[in-house]
Structure 1
Amino acid sequence: MDNLDTGILTLLRKNARAGYGDIGDVIGLSASAVKRRVDRLVADGVIRGFTIQVDPAVDGLGTEAYVELFCRGTVSPGDLRRMLGEIPEVVGAGTVSGSADAIVHMRSRDITSLEAAIERVRDAPNVDHTRSSIVLSKLIERARD
């Protein structure tokens, strides 16, 4: 990766539909040189795919929460991944430092279905309790990856 590759990635992050010629005009390469670099970045696994981002509310998932998960005993990250992977409302999760064992990002159509999904998390083996925070408004949301 060099500065030209970084420039290409920056522009594609802003607009994955940008034309090679448009990108080349900004970074100082021909369209064919940009295409060769993009093809190499894809082949090398730097670019994993091209996608669109749709507002979750369009898909009926306008209710969002972050849920801290507290476990009894020691639970491996693999066990947490398997357990949380079975709950479709879970859109992200990670182990964390501090008193919680993990934090879980959930999206649902409404409060009632969110509550039911949180109950499924609470019912999982080794889960002691949860602490939920419902998102009222988004302040900043940056797309990365």
Structure 2
Amino acid sequence: MFSESFSRKDLVINTLMNSILIVLLMPKLDHIDKQIVSILASDCRTSYREIAKSLGMSATAIKSRVDDIVASGLIIEFIVEFAPAMIGSEVMLVWLKTDAAEDREQFISDISMNKGVMQISPLYGGDYLVGAEYTSSLELAALSEAFKSNPHVSSTEMHTILRPRGKKTSLTHLQLRVLKALLTDARMLISDISRETGLTVRLVRKTLRELKESEAIKFGLRWHLNVGDRVTVLLRLKWDPKQASRNEITDMLLKNYQDELWEILPSASDPILMVAVTVDNMNHVDTITAEIKSHPGILYSEAFIYRPSHNYKSIKRLRLEEAIQAAGI
């Protein structure tokens, strides 16, 4: 999702910022599959050869695994968009509780009309989790007012999420030409980009290298994890900052749940983490929740289950499309 270099902790925390995870069903991925998906989520233009080198495998074996992962429906599409720093955007998660009298599809449609809404996940039990993006305090206030003024919303809880921001830079006309080709497929082959843009293969390769190094563009993916037969649960954790720091809690999770841990989304304003884990059954969830609660710094741990999500374009993607159109490309 972001074009900067990731440590292992950064990669786990920020994998998959286009999708907000509650309980999902996913295919049985082994450890290598998870590593491949994490690499592609961080930079979907990473070549099979580069992934193979980092994992000690052949490029052919990596391609076969990627093909299988895509065929399973886990990866919906590879995408390109601005890094947050390019437009000064922030992402937040919003819990909406309702009076249970709403028509679900109409309610989702009404919420999705608000600028910045990227994803809406209906939760089993009647609540909704909304992923939204804003670029100013005014946009944040507008989103807050829109959610709270909905006649069916009884309460809201909003958390801006910490994640890498990339860098802000000016893009050249040549770079925008290459980016336009990638709007339909962010992993498009260099030869196909060359054919579509009329640029030489050498120039396309050089331009892509410049875009990656600029950290202004995010090459990522959009996924749909409710496929297959494993359960992915979002655990909502709150800790006591007087007893433990955010890094200490994160390190504990990485150390104890390496196989189960999928993603960590830290709140920027509160001692709260949203943690996605994948397990074989709900009994395993109870075990993990109990173990996490036993940590001296943890105040509570809750598990959430959700229905299939409704996804929309991010502001980062819309602004990139606008920049390409404004350049007359």
Fold conserved between structures, TM > 0.5: yes
- Give the structure 1 partner of residue 196 of structure 2: 26
Query: How big is each residue's C-alpha offset from its partner over 1:92-125, in whole Å with a ceiling of 9 and x where there is no partner?
Result: 1132156662221222222122222222222222
Query: Distance in 2 between the 1:116 and 1:13 partners?
Result: 43
Stretches of structure 2 that go unaligned for 5 or more consecutive residues are 1-169, 314-329
Q: CA RMSD in A?
A: 3.7
Stretches of structure 1 that go unaligned for 5 or more consecutive residues are none
Query: Distance in 2 between the 1:39 and 1:119 partners?
Result: 46
Query: How big is each residue's C-alpha offset from its partner over 1:16-48, in whole Å with a ceiling of 9 and x where there is no partner?
Result: 652212112333422221122234445x37489
Percent identity, please.
14
Over 3 Å counting, the alpha-carbon distance change for 1:14 and 1:111 in structure 2 is farther
**SS of corresponding position for 1:92:** strand
Q: 1:79 aligns with which of 248, 253, 266?
A: 248
- Give the structure 1 partner of residue 18 of structure 2: none
Tell me, yes or no, if the aligned pair for 1:64 and 1:135 is still in contact at 8 Å: no
Report the Cα offset of residue 54 of structure 1.
Answer: 9.7
Query: How big is each residue's C-alpha offset from its partner over 1:70-111, in whole Å with a ceiling of 9 and x where there is no partner?
Result: 213433221122111121222111321566622212222221
- Which stretch of structure 1 is more off in the superposition, 91-100 or 111-120? 91-100
Report the Cα offset of residue 14 of structure 1.
Answer: 5.5
Confirm whether residue 102 of structure 1 aligns to residue 273 of structure 2: yes
**SS of corresponding position for 1:115:** helix
Tell me, yes or no, if the aligned pair for 2:246 and 2:271 is still in contact at 8 Å: no
**SS of corresponding position for 2:238:** strand
After TM superposition, the score normalised by the length of structure 1 is: 0.67
- Per residue, is there more strand in 1 or in 2? 2
- Give the structure 2 partner of residue 64 of structure 1: 232
Matches for 1:1-145 after TM superposition, within 5 Å: 2=171, 3-6=173-176, 8=178, 15=185, 17-41=187-211, 44=213, 46=215, 62-74=230-242, 75-86=244-255, 87-88=257-258, 89-96=260-267, 101-140=272-311
After TM superposition, the score normalised by the length of structure 2 is: 0.34
